[in-house]
Structure 1
C-alpha cells in the first residue's frame, strides 16, 4: 500500500473531480457498503486507486475528506462583523440551522452516521472519531465566530461560547437526528426546515438576547 499522504484539509480546495469521488463514497455508504474499500471507491468513481492515494492519502484520509465534504454544506450565512445587527444575526443563524437540518436529514448523512456509530461501538475503525472531529466539532467552530461577534456587538450575552453553541445546536436538532438514526421515517420539507430554523433562532435569541426582544418571525 502506498505511504499515506496528507488528506485534503480545506473544503474549498476540493476540485469538481474530487467532489465526484467523495460523492461516490457517500453513494456506497448509502447502499450499505459498510466494508468500504479503496478498490470499491475507485471502481464506482471510475478512477485508479493510485489517484485516490495521491489525493487522500489512505482510507481514513478519504473518509475524513468525505465527512468534511458533507459538513461543508453547513454554513452560517454571510455576515459582516462590522455591520452585524439583530436582523443580520437572525438571518445568519437561520441559514445555519436550515443548512444543518437539511444535511442531517439527508439519506447520505444518516447512512454515514449509522456506519460511524457502529464502528465507534466496535472499535473497527476511526470513523466515529473522524465524523465527530470533522462533522460536529468542525461545524461548531464555523458558527462560534458569529456568536462571539454578536456578543461583541451587544446583541446576545453569554459566558461560554461552547455552551451557547450547544444550546443553539440542541434547539435546532431536537430529537431529529437520533430518530433518523434509529429508523424513524421523518421527512422534512423545505418549508418545515425553514420553519424549524426560524423557531430555533427565536428561542435562542430569547434565551441569550441581552435584554432585547427576539426578532420578528420573517418566515410568515
Structure 2
C-alpha cells in the first residue's frame, strides 16, 4: 500500500463513518481529490474499495513474525502485548466504533455487504494473524494448547473483555494510552497463566519455591 493509497482509504473511512450512503466511487474521488479512474484501477469497484478500507483499518493491529527456533518468553510476551495494545487502540477509536456499528446494521438488513466484509477482514483476519504468533509460541515450547482457535478466543476474551460491546452501545472510551497498555499487559499475563509452559522464563513464569519455603 502506497502512501497515496493509504490517504485515499483514510478518506473513504471518514466518508463511510460519516454517511455510508455516500460511499460511492464519485464521492470518494471527490473527498480524496483523485480521479474515479484511479480508484477503479486500484480497487476495481465499490466492493473492492470497501474491502481495502476495512483491511486498511484492521492492518493497524500488527503482528510481528516470530521464529520458533530463536523465540524466547520475552519476545513472545512483547509480541502479544504489542498486538493487544494495537487491538484495543483500534477498537476504541471513533473510526472503528462507527465502522462496526454500520457493519452490524448491514448484517441485519438486505445490505449485508459491509457486515460480511468486516467479519472476513476483521475478526477472521485477526484470528489468522495472531494464530501464527501463537503457533510459533507453541512450537517453541512456550505455550501449550490443543486448538489454535481456542487459544485465540481466550486471548480475545482476556484482551477485549466487554469493551467492544460497551462502545458499540454508546459508552465513551475511558482508557488512555497508558490504560490500554496496562490492560494489554494484564491480558497477556493472564494468558500465560492459562497456556504458558514450564519452559518460559519471565515475570509470569511458574517458579519452583525455594527449599524450606
Same-fold call, TM cutoff 0.5: yes
Runs of 5+ unmatched residues, structure 2:
205-213
Aligned to 1:67, which of 50, 54, 58? 54
Give the C-alpha shift of residue 92 in structure 1: 0.6
Are 1:147 and 2:134 matched, yes or no? yes
Instruction: Name the SS of the counterpart of 1:81 in structure 2.
Output: coil
Tell me which residue corresponds to 2:89: 102
Quick one: distance in 2 between partners of 1:184 and 1:212?
41
Q: 1:134 aligns with which of 118, 121, 124?
A: 121
Helix, strand or coil at the partner of 2:108: helix
**Over aligned residues, Cα RMSD in angstroms?**
1.6
Residue 25, structure 1, aligned to residue 12, structure 2: yes
> What does residue 55 of structure 1 align with?
42
Cα distance in 2 for partners of 1:136, 1:122 equals: 20
Against the structure 1 CA distance between its residues 73 and 80, is the aligned structure 2 distance closer, same or farther, given a 3 Å change threshold? same
Aligned counterpart, 1:195: 182
Distance 2:65 2:149 in 1: 21
> Where does residue 195 of structure 2 map in the other structure?
208
Aligned counterparts of 1:31 and 1:86: Cα–Cα separation in 2: 43
SS of equivalent residue, structure 1 residue 172? helix
Is contact 2:142-2:200 (8 Å) kept?
A: no
| Cα distance per residue 1:130-155 (max 9 Å; x no partner) | 11111111111111111111111111
Aligned length: 204
Aligned partners of 1:34 and 1:215: how far apart in 2?
Answer: 51
